[in-house]
């Protein structure tokens, strides 16, 4: 009896946290869809996007869906444990099991297609280069987003400084490059074509693609650790829900 009460309390606390997390993710998803200044604005000027990017653009809907599912799971777990409802506990177990199997399948896909992200970003090079040449320095929204990204990642252009050759920014600034292309180099503030070539030869300012891939690679162990932790919690939640389910059936 004491053990059963302890498990019920743990189920309530654990699933209460899941419910709060789901509500937070749901809120972020709604914010992403409402906020017009999201990172996806960087590709607004690209005319021909690969199908993968049109799917990435719907990340807000994905967050809304994930948040809703988490909120439902948390609600079922809490109410199922407190009210001792076999139906709710069984539904909770079924949903968590399905999610666990999907995560296992996703992990296998990531291992098999580990170079997918780099191939995807490389496929965008031509279109994003065209967007920069056409709009950077003229489109205020795109220019501001790129400036923020380059400042945040300390990078220059998508691949390198040449992405800005012939852009409206150069037309208005005497063939100079954005100051982010000179930061941290020995060429100073005057970012002329010659000095930018020196920077390129010295490899002192990476393109934003390389910086992004480095960021993803650096954080992969953290993501893997979090994923393993979530999997362990899911297994524990399924075991506890079935223990409570069996205990209710014996009463």
Separation CA 238–CA 245 (nearest Å): 10
- State the span(s) of the chain assigned CATH 1.10.1450: 120-208
Does 52 have pLDDT greater than 50? Answer: no
Does 202 have pLDDT greater than 70? Answer: no
Overall CATH class of domain 120-208: mainly alpha
pLDDT at 226: 74
pLDDT tens-digit readout, 146-199:
888 888 888 888 887 788 888 898 888 777 778 777 765 444 344 555 555 555
Share of the chain above pLDDT 90, in %: 0
pLDDT tens-digit readout, 98-157:
888 887 877 776 666 656 656 666 667 777 888 888 889 888 888 888 888 888 888 888
pLDDT at 46: 52
**Under 8 Å between Cβ of 28 and 68:** no
pLDDT at 189: 45
pLDDT at 36: 46
- What is the residue-averaged pLDDT of the chain? 74
């Amino acid at each position: 009896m004491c053990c059963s009460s302890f498990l019920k309390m743990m189920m309530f606390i654990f699933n209460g946290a899941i419910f709060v997390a789901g509500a937070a993710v749901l809120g972020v998803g709604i914010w992403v869809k409402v906020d017009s200044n999201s990172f996806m604005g960087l590709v607004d000027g690209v005319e021909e996007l690969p199908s993968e990017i049109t799917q990435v653009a719907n990340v807000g809907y994905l967050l809304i869906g994930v948040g809703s599912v988490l909120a439902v799971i948390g609600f079922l777990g809490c109410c199922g444990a407190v009210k001792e409802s076999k139906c709710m506990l069984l539904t909770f177990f079924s949903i968590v099991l399905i999610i666990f199997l999907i995560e296992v399948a996703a992990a296998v896909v990531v291992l098999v297609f580990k170079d997918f992200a780099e191939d995807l970003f490389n496929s965008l090079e031509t279109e994003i280069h065209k967007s920069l040449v056409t709009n950077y320095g003229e489109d205020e929204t795109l220019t501001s987003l790129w400036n923020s990204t380059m400042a945040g990642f300390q990078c220059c252009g998508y691949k390198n400084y040449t992405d800005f050759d012939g852009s409206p920014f150069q037309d208005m600034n005497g063939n100079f490059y954005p100051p982010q292309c000179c930061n941290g180099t020995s060429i100073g503030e005057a970012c002329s074509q010659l000095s930018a070539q020196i920077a390129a030869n010295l490899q002192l300012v990476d393109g934003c693609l390389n910086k992004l891939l480095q960021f993803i690679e650096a954080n992969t162990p953290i993501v893997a650790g979090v994923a393993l932790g979530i999997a362990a919690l899911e297994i524990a939640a399924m075991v506890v829900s079935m223990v409570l389910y069996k205990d209710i059936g014996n009463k």
